[in-house]
Homo-oligomer: A and B are copies of this chain.
Amino acid sequence: MIKVGIVGISGYSGEATLELLLKHPLVRVTYVSANNTKGKISEFWPQLAGKTDLVCDKFDIKKAVEQCNLIFLAVPHTVSMEITPKLLDAGVLVIDLSGDYRLNSATEYKMWYGADHMDSKNLGKAVYGLPELHREKIKKSKLIANPGCYPTAALLALAPFVSVYGESTELIIIDAKSGVSGAGRKATFAFNFCEVNENFKAYKVLNHQHAPEINLYLSKISRKLPKVHFVPHLLPVNRGILETIYIHLGQKVTLNIVYDLYKRFYKTEPFVRVLPPGQQPELKNVVGTNICDIGFAVSSDKNMVVITSAIDNLIKGAAGQAVQNMNIKCGFKETTGLE
């Protein structure tokens, strides 16, 4: 039984992490905090009434360190890099759900997040916590950068393909659609019900901070790869990401070859389902789970491959993957608390 804490419990990712951990048989949640909220958890998350007596207060490094072996940071970017070094110095393991440690260069960070990186020391040491690609490194790291929601769906969909066809890949386009919880829990006019419901739009077209994250980890699989073109859209649903990924190839492939490649690549993975030809991922099949569904199509001239992937942005795209990382790091069975 390890003792874990969650910093940033007032957001959707923090709450989702808490829900999973309360059901996890091998951990005890001993500490929760948030900056603008205090009191019993069930007062601001009424769905948790009767399920926990945890009380929330402002973050206090001393309490956090005393009470926890491992801490989940579900805070906005820039906040994480203030807290992380203190926790690591005190010997507390960190799983960071923010974007602060995902890009391994302070320059890139500045460019995409608009702030100076204050913890370059740990920036290089963080391990990118996508278990299907980095399981062994995760086991050894004290700081796990939990992947972004869009990159999770993109990298799982692209990794097998570029590992084989990277050299002949000429163009990658990611048309991504996300439910509203992906934007976080904000009192922002733009996310009011009437602005989002019965609506749909693209945003940050070719200019989203998750694009460099995708490029970085794809480039580790295949060096010659062209940079992806990434366009996110806002879907009028609470949860779920679906990405339709277009790959233009300098050679020809068939649907069965692609399908077989993915079946092999993910053969032993508990949280990736490779759909048979003819079947397409749907949000409703993955929402509420830690699963990523992946489907395929190939054009009649065989040089355009369409790969579609779907996840729950708050689970495989955030809290669930964070728990999966904890399981790996702590030597638990990887699926514990996630089925």
Contacts and interface: CB of A to CB of B under 8 A. Distances in A.
Interface of A: 12, 23, 46-47, 49-50, 171, 173, 175, 177, 180-181, 185-189, 191-203, 205-207, 229, 231, 233, 235-240, 242, 244, 246, 248, 273, 275, 279-289, 291, 295, 297-300, 304, 306, 308, 310, 339
B280 A240 contact: no
Given A49-B273, A192-B191, A306-B205, A246 B244 contact: no
Given A187-B188, A238-B194, A308 B202 contact: yes
Nearest to A23: B339
Nearest to A296: B205
A173 B286 contact: no
Contacts of A197: 180, 193, 197, 236-238
Nearest to A173: B246
Given A173-B173, A206-B297, A242 B200 contact: yes
Contact of A200 (B201, B240, B300): B240
A201 B238 contact: no
Given A200-B177, A306-B231, A285 B47 contact: yes
Nearest to A242: B200
A46 B285 contact: yes
Please tell me how many copies of the chain the complex holds. 4
A297 B193 contact: no
A223 B308 CA distance: 31
B244 A198 contact: no
A291 B42 CA distance: 15
Contact of A198 (B195, B231, B275, B284): B284
Contacts of A191: 192-194
Nearest to A189: B187
Nearest to A237: B198
A230 to B, nearest CB: 10
Most chain B CB within a 10 A radius of its CB, from A186, A298, A306, A310: A306
Contacts of A310: 201
Contacts of A198: 198, 237-240, 283-284, 287
Contact of A235 (B23, B200, B280, B284): B200
Given A177-B233, A199-B237, A236-B237, 16 more contacts: A47-B284, A47-B285, A49-B275, A173-B173, A175-B246, A181-B194, A197-B197, A198-B287, A200-B282, A202-B280, A205-B306, A229-B304, A231-B244, A231-B306, A246-B246, A248-B248
